[in-house]
Structures are given as C-alpha cells and as structure tokens.
Chains A and B, each alone.
Chain A
Amino acid sequence: MNGHALVIRGGEVVDHRGRRTADVAIRAGTITAVEAGIDAGPGVQVLDATGCIVAPGLVDLHTHLREPGGEAAETVETGSRAAARGGYTAVVAMPNTDPPIDSAAVARQVLELGRQALCDVAVAGAITVGREGTHLAPMAELAELGVRIFTDDGSGVQDARLMRRALQYALALGVTLAQHCEDESLAAGGQMHEGTWSSKLGMPGIPAEAEELMVMRDIALVRLTGAPVHFLHLSTAGSLAMVRAAKEQGLPVTAEVAPHHFTLTDAQAESFDPVFKVNPPLRTTDDVAAVKRGLVDGVVDAIATDHAPHTQEAKERPWDEAPPGMLGLETALAVAVTELELPIERLLALLSWQPARVAGLSEHGGPLAPGRPANVTVIDPAARWTVHPEGLSSRARNTPYAGRTLTGRVRHTVLRGEPVVVGSEAQR
C-alpha cells in the first residue's frame, strides 16, 4: 500500500483530543492531514464518511484466533477479517491455542500469520508452560518478540505463590499479567452462573465468588509485588467493587468487560442452547447493571470481546459437553452503541485508546494527527442492521445476537493506509 493515497471525507473526527469536523488524508500508511475540505486530487481514493464518526481503529484486548490448532473454528485470516469488519485495527491474540503460545516458536508463527492479516495481531504469551500452572513460561524470550501481555486465559493461575513469582518476574520485563479470574476448586464442574436459574434448570453452578476470590487474591498480590495486573472479562458486581477499591488505593490494576456481560443474563440458559454458554458465565441482572455502571463511572478500562469461535458441531453438543465462548468482534461496537447510554467519545475510549494503552500498542488508539499511523475506523452511529450468523466473516457462527437488530455499524476500516473494509464489506 506504499504510495496509496486516500481521503476520508465528510465525517466527524473523534479521538482522545476531542471532536471536530474534518477530512483525513492518508498517504503511504500515514496520516498526512486532518482538516476541513481536503482536495482529493487525481488518483486518490475517497471514502465517504458523511454522517459518520472517524475514529482511531478499535483495539481488542481479548481475541481467540484459534490458530494454530483450532482452524476449523477460526484462523488468523478469518478472525482478522471479522475484526476489521467490526472496526478493529488491532487485536491481542490469546495464547490458549494448540500448541499454546508459551514459546518463541509459536509466538513467531502467529505473528507471522498476522503480517498478512486484515488487522494487526499482537500476541499474548502464556504465563506458565502449557498453561498448566506449574512452571513459568519463557517470558523474557517472548517479551523480546514484542509480547506485552501474558495470561493463561481459559484458566486462571491457581497457585498464589506461582502468581506472585510471575508478577515479580514481569516487573523486570515491563510486561503486564492478565488474569482469567476463576478459582477452579469452587467452580469445579460448573456449567452456568450459580443462582436462581441454575437451580431451576438443574445445572451445576459457578458461584460469583469463584471469580471474586481470585480478583481478591490478585489485588493482594499486586499490593505485595507492585506489579500491574489486568483483569480479563470481569462479570460480577463484587469483582467490580473490588477493582474500584483497588484503584482508589492507587494500585496498578486495569479491567475489561465483555459485551455479553452487559447485555445478556443467566436467564438465556433456559433455551439450553450452548450459544449462550460462556466463561465467565452470563450472570444476573444485578451483575449486568454493575458492569454497566463500571463502564459509565470509569472503573472499567476497556470493552474486550472475548471473541471465542467454536464450530457448529461443538455448539450443538449438549450444554454440559459444549465448549464455552461466543463470537464478539463483529458485534461489539454495535452492542455497545445500542446498549450503553454513553457518548461516542466514551465508547471509543473503552474500545480504542484505553485498550491500546493497556496492550502497549502505541501505533493504535490515535490520536488522528499528521504523522501518525493510519489506523482508522469509520462508524455510522445511526445505521441499523440485523445480525445474521451466516453473514459474519468469522468462520464460526456462534453469535448470541442472531436475529437482533443493532444500532451502529462500521462503514470503513483503514489499516496502515489500506482500506481493508469499505462500505461494510471486507476488501480481501
């Protein structure tokens, strides 16, 4: 795309510096001008942004791209196409692949695949070898490849001493540990949130406290070590209250929540359709309200998708045999616009520049200014569209929003100056 020039015309530019009506000129992957009335000139591609918000590309802290090992459900290519159509210019690929990203070799493989992708692919490394929770993964070796986030996501690090050591070690490397908070002894066998619905439906429950115990422990370990922790996909009112208190004490903690945890509740399990099975599980209406509150009052740093593709075959198993997880990349922005009563600047903070900061992705998250990398998304905030699973770019179909009409749609996405999505359609 070197030399390729385009102008995003007629939109309203929004980044962390504010909001202004301006066109955005791009050449050779870099923003060259942000001002009103830019003249496109011959040979310059024009992307119409009339009525749209022109924003820094979105950044997802929590994407399962499934490659290597799970290519039947998703690949780096298909997942990145889904990301681009969802407005993302960067995703952090979770390491629970097969083999897991616990070595430089696998990290290199995923990073290499990411170079051809429709969004930038950052890699999260495993904290422990094989994500087995017993030996530290070669964190320095991975950090040298640019890995900035480490997590055993899919499970939490159960052993407090090991977690303490990992945090101490991470301090020297300047990387962040991200925790999937779940006490496995308390959650054992659980299939959904433990409460009224699990009791009625006859399913083993996962109490909110299984998450909260580990949040509590990790806050204590942050206090002990001084190392930062990022809390993945928090789902309970209690977890958010603890993070709020930790932040008030000045501890270096950050938190993300997933769209399904501020839109759906455990009542969805009544259908027994495993498309609603996810970990952490869908919680109660009170928890949904608490997650929304956390987004409004700033306790939550990021909306992260926990995009977790699974094959149709896997999601047609009986609930307790089906794997947890739901798609998110192509619906997250629209779900946030539809469900959250937040100004677009706040939504974009949660979807773009705040997660970019957590992930250490300095080329993403704006600002939109001359000299900056041209990672841009153009959003029509008023467009209404209905989610059709077969119309998604992900290889998988397990969206919990099938049939729902949402407001807010990505019109164009520009990755390093290349228009990878134009008119809501992927260009390759």
Chain B
Amino acid sequence: MKHLLSVDDLGADGINEVMRLSDSFVEVSERAIPKVPALRGKTVVSLFYEDSTRTRLSFETAAKRLSADTMTFSVSSSSVNKGESLRDTVETIEAMGIDAVVVRHKSSGVPWRIASWVKASVINAGDGWHQHPTQALLDCYTIRSRKGDLGGLRIAIVGDIMHSRVARSDVDAFAALGADVLLVAPPTLLPASLDGWPVKVTHSLDEVIGDLDVIYLLRIQRERMSEALLPSLREYRAMYGLTAERLRALRRDALVMHPGPMNRGVEIDAEAAEDERSVITAQVSNGVAVRMAVLYLLLGSGADLVAPVGEL
C-alpha cells in the first residue's frame, strides 16, 4: 500500500493487519526506551494546514519511536502565508527528499490531490468533513482491546455526523469489522443522503442507550447554532448529551468514547468522561501505536519490526 487516504484503502484485512502491528508497537511503547530502528533513514513530514496539536504530536511521536526523521511544516509561519499555492508547497517539501507526508487540511480531498502530485506516501490526518482514517483505526483498536472483536457489537455514533470526518471513517471501519452501526442525531446534523451507508439511524438516544456496547460521542461546535442546525447547546445536551442520568441507563460493560477535544457539559458530562466505562484516555495512548503501525506498513521494509534500537 502506498498511501493511507481513507478507511476504504485498507478494507477489513488491512484494518486487521494494522491491529496486529499495533499490538507489537503497544509493547514497544511500554519499554523503558520505547524506540525501534524500523524507519531509520526515513523522513516523515507533518503538513498541518489546520491546528491539531494532538494529532500532529501523535504522528510525530510515532515517527520518532520508529527512528524516522521528522519535519514539521507549520503553516502559520510559512510561505503559505505569503500566498504560496498548495502544490508549490508540497513540491518544495518533496524536493527536500521525504518518504511520507502526513496531511491535515480543512478542505475535503486535499490528501488525494497531494497524492496525485508527489511520489512520497501520503497519510491523511483529517480532511474537511471527509475522512480521518487513523482515528478510525485507533478507535477500532481501542474497542478491540476491550471487547476482543467488533463483530456483532452495537455501536452508536452520536451527534454531528454531517460535519464529522471521524464519523465517516468510523462508520466504514466499524462496519468493515462486522459491527452494527447506529447513527444517533437530529436530522439537521445528518448528511443529506445516507444511501449506501451501512448504518441504521435514530433520532432518539434514550430509545437505544440501554442496548449499546459502545457509545461514541462527537464534538458539537458552537457555530452550528448560527447555521440554524440547532436551537441551543442546552437543548442538544438535553436530547443527545451523555448526561449523568443517561450514564445510568448505559450497560455496565459498555464503552464511552470521544475523539476529543471534549465539550464537557455539552455532548458529554464530566461524570461520563471520567466514568470507569470511559476509554477516552486509552484512545489517545493507542493513537501512537496505531500510527506507528500505519507508518511501518507504508514505509517499513518488514524485517526489523520491533528489534530494540542498537541491536541491528
């Protein structure tokens, strides 16, 4: 595989391969020196056109633990502010000799365009409302590490599906692994058409909450109010928030997930975020191992997977 642009690039087999590799890299991450030489001599650039400190740090940590050289292209302090085009920027970076570029952009599709212009591998770290494949992979990994297998699990994704790249990637990944995916949202926050989506839809969280294996809450952005998509955050919380009261209806073995950053008191109450069923912190820590797996899959040669640094 050359690029990781969407979950569809992987399919069920690819996702499972990433899961297996991630197991090895979780083990590496637990070592005193959490570093392997697998990508020594490779250069990974993070090109973030949209602020996302957590995703960028997760990728850079993953690359460093694989002994890759990392570069950060910070858009705010770069020639982009002087009007340089996307293509010129990307071709300039490639001319420096790179093996992979990790891209985050507010516009859907930008990683596809970059992949058509460069020889390096392109990893989509989130494009517009479209895809965020490594988030889906770390979500799958987190669920799998608690539940063993996603097959037959009832997973609800709750909230702003329309504007969410996390939702689009998670739907594809969860469904590929055999889960029953349920979208829970007011009609204003659903995509115009769900034709072909392997999901069921409900507008009532209360009707389904007692029956879920996983509840996945999406962040609600304040500008949705000005777009007449919601009357108020208060009303959203009352209808769709994982409140302390709803938490009681959730099964004891259910998982609470959120891609972060959270709006506490809106889509998730503090009690829910800190409940023992919450795996939100595990999502973040698994993110590094899963991104190591992705980088290894795209750039690694195969032999030196988890040998400690210095043993080769």
Contacts and interface: CB of A to CB of B under 8 A. Distances in A.
B193 A195 contact: yes
Contacts of B108: 201-203, 272, 319-320
Contacts of A273: 113, 116
Interface stretch (A81-89, A103-111, A310-318): A310-318
A273 B114 CA distance: 11
Interface in B105-123: 105, 107-110, 112-113, 116
A271 interface: yes
Interface string A193-229: 0111011111101010000000000000000000000
A52 to B, nearest CB: 39
B129 A317 contact: no
Interface residues of A, number: 21
A272 B87 CA distance: 14
A59 B26 CA distance: 68
Contacts, number: 65
Contact of A271 (B112, B127, B131, B194): B112
Nearest to A272: B109
Contact of B107 (A199, A205, A320): A320
A321 interface: yes
Interface in B143-174: 165, 168
Interface string A314-352: 001111110000000000000000000000000000000
B192 A203 contact: no
B187 interface: no
- Chain B contact surface mostly: loop
Interface residues of B, number: 25
B196 A196 contact: yes
A317 B193 CA distance: 27
B34 interface: no
A346 to B, nearest CB: 35
B52 interface: no
A272 B130 CA distance: 11
B107 A201 contact: no
B86 A205 contact: no
Contacts of A198: 191-193
B112 A317 contact: no
Nearest to B109: A272
Contacts of A194: 192-193
Contact of B131 (A195, A202, A205, A207): A202
Given A202-B129, A202-B131, A203-B128, A319 B107 contact: yes
A196 B107 contact: no
Give 5 closest A-B pairs by Cβ, nearest first.
A272-B109, A202-B130, A202-B129, A318-B107, A199-B191
